[in-house]
Structure formats: structure tokens, C-alpha cells
Amino acid sequence: MPTSTSVCVGLQRERFRAYRLTLPPCAAVLFIVFALLVPPASADDATSCREAKGDAQITACSQAIASGKFKGDDLAELYVTRGDANFFKGEYDRAVKDYDQATRLDPKNAPAFNGRGMVRAATLDYDLALKEYDQAIRLDPGYAWAFANRGEVYRLKSDYDRAIEDYDRAIQMFPSYAWALSGRGEAYRSKGEYDRAIKDFDQAIQTDPNDSFSLIGRAMTRLAMKQYDGAVADYADVIRLYPTNADAWNGRCYVLAVMGRAKEALPDCEKAVRLDPSNAQALDSRGFVKLRLGLLDEAIADYDAALNLAPKLAESLYGGGLAKTHKGDTDGGRADIAAAKELRPDIAESFAGYGVK
């Protein structure tokens, strides 16, 4: 079942890795200026350090660093760029070493602190991430990227008002900043301000039609607003763009089940579980579909599997409790339902709203 936390830890980590390297326009200008200033003998490596991707970028940055032709602030910029490339690869320890070296060379290098913040956030050390972003912003109060990143961490800590304040600052500087718009949309969705969320997601998608995070966020918002056809359409767009996105297959499965189209939903859930067998949300959704189809033993098995991965997943506790009750295990069902209500007091109303009691 897609929930407010199902754009979950893994997806958030990928969101940081994918989108933190989509810079506001000013950063691209700075990269070009730097390339024009490098010594000619190292221009190729420096340019590749800025413009290449993946291993080729890391190699070029390493060669430029080793050339001995860069000192001080210029050398620090190379370390930051290589740090970003390592971060994008998920090489967090190497990224931190690069950012650390950059701050030693240039203690006022805001991007280095921002980069270290990205690593801390991606590894779920949110408090330390906030400290790094705070320092980046102190050094450069016009640093939209750091404001958006800090907003993301506040959102993940459920401090939605502070998150929105930071996203606002980033968007004021760059009104078409899709990452910040998407993040603010998620914050509004979490606050139940669905119309505002939809507006932000719409603008983010207009800026970047391939933005899976905004498409999924809008789908989840439309689900909450009971705009089921729109939610299905958004998930279908993600599946078209990214056929291996398990969250999209899971989301469409769940919405179809809510719409009473459980037989049609089941293949989507099966696909989601095949793509990501450790996705508790996908197992929960498949359990929900099987509950609606009356496949009680299979529903209980899926809910149990989801709870093995996420023991406090209220939806799986409640759904499993209903399945046990329908099978005649009244005591076991009541225990699971009571545990679910402890975690989420409105869980019974939520299921009843979908016609499941």
C-alpha cells in the first residue's frame, strides 16, 4: 500500500542521488567560468571533470588534481566535483574524503559543505546533514541548492513547515527548480494540503516531464483526493518512462484494487514484488489485493512477509488481522487489529473507505 512513508528510505536515497546533481542554473554558469580560467595544459581534464559522467568524470578529475597545476580554491573545486561524482555513484566514503579535502583547501567552499550534507542525508544522518547545510547557507546565503537540500531533510524529519520555508527560498531564486517544487509538493501532501501539492507537482512535471518523483507524488496525492483515474494515469506514465520502477507498479496495483479492480491489479503487484522482493509496501499491496479477492491464506502470507521487513507497518497488521478474522482466527485477528490501531488510530476508517471491513 503506498503511504505517506512509501516514497520511503530507499526511494529517498535515490532521490538525493539523482536530483542533488541537477543544479540550479547559476551552478552551470560557474562551471563554465571555471573551465575558461584553467591552465591550457590541463584544460581537457578540467573540462571533462566538469562535463563527463560516471567513471570518466572521476578519472578526469583525478588527473586534473594530480597534475599539480591547480592550487587553493581551484583545486578545491576539483575535489568538490569529484566528490559529487562519487556521491552519484553511491561511493559515499570517497565522496566525504573529497569534500573534506575541499574544505581544508578552502574553508569557505559552500558546495563542499553542501556535498557533505548530501552524503549525511543519503545515509540517513539527518541531524548532521542539517549542520552541514546550515554552514553552506551561512557561507552563501544565496545558495538555492543548499536551501532545497535542507528543506528535503526537514521534510524527511516531518518538520513540514520549516521544509516549506526552505523550499520557498530555493524557488524564489529559481522558480522552475523542479527538485524544490517536488519536495514542497511532498511537504504539502504530508500536511494534507492537496491542492497546493498538486500545483507544485504540476509545475515540476511541466519543467521536467520525466520526473518520476513528482509523477509518483502527484499520483499519491490524487489517491488521497480519490481522483483514482488521475492516479492510475500518473503511475502509468512512470511505468512507461521507467519500466523497472517497482514503486510505480506497486502504486498502480494499489489504486486499481481500491477502485474494485483487484483482478486487474494483481499482475501489477506481482511485477512490483519481482522487481523488488524486499519492498514491504509492494508485499502489503499484494496482500490487500488478495484480501479483496478472498485469497485469505495468500493474503496473510504476504502481510506476514511485509511485517518481517517492516514490523510497524500498520496497514499490514490491520489487513492481516482482517484476513485472520475472516478465516475464523478471531483472537489472532483481534490482536493484529489492535496493534494496527495503536500505530494508526484511523486505520479502520481508511480500510472501510475502500470497502474493506
Cα distance between residue 48 and residue 69, in whole Å: 16
Q: Which residues of 69-81 are buried (b: 16+ CB within 10 A; e: fewer)?
A: bbeeebbbbbbbb
Spatial contact of 69 and 96, defined as CB atoms under 8 Å apart: no
Per-residue model confidence as pLDDT tens digits over 135-162: 999 999 999 999 999 999 999 999 999 9
Burial of residue 53, with CB atoms counted within 10 A of its CB: 0-12 exposed, 13-18 middle, 19 or more buried: exposed
Using left for φ > 0, alpha for ψ between -120 and 50, and beta otherwise, residue 72 falls in left
CA distances from 321 to 4, 237, 299, 318 (A): 22, 34, 10, 5
- pLDDT under 50: residue ranges of the chain: 4-14, 16-23, 25-41
- Axis crossing angle, helix 144-156 with helix 160-173, rounded to the nearest 10: 160
Spatial contact of 162 and 187, defined as CB atoms under 8 Å apart: no
The pLDDT of residue 1: 65
Q: Which domains does the chain have, with CATH numbers?
A: 265-357 (1.25.40.10)
> Which distant-in-sequence residues (6+ apart) come within 8 Å of 338 by Cβ?
none
**CB neighbourhood size of 264 (10 A):** 14
The pLDDT of residue 5: 41
DSSP state letter for 38: S
Per-residue model confidence as pLDDT tens digits over 291-339: 999 999 999 999 999 999 999 999 999 999 999 999 999 999 999 999 9
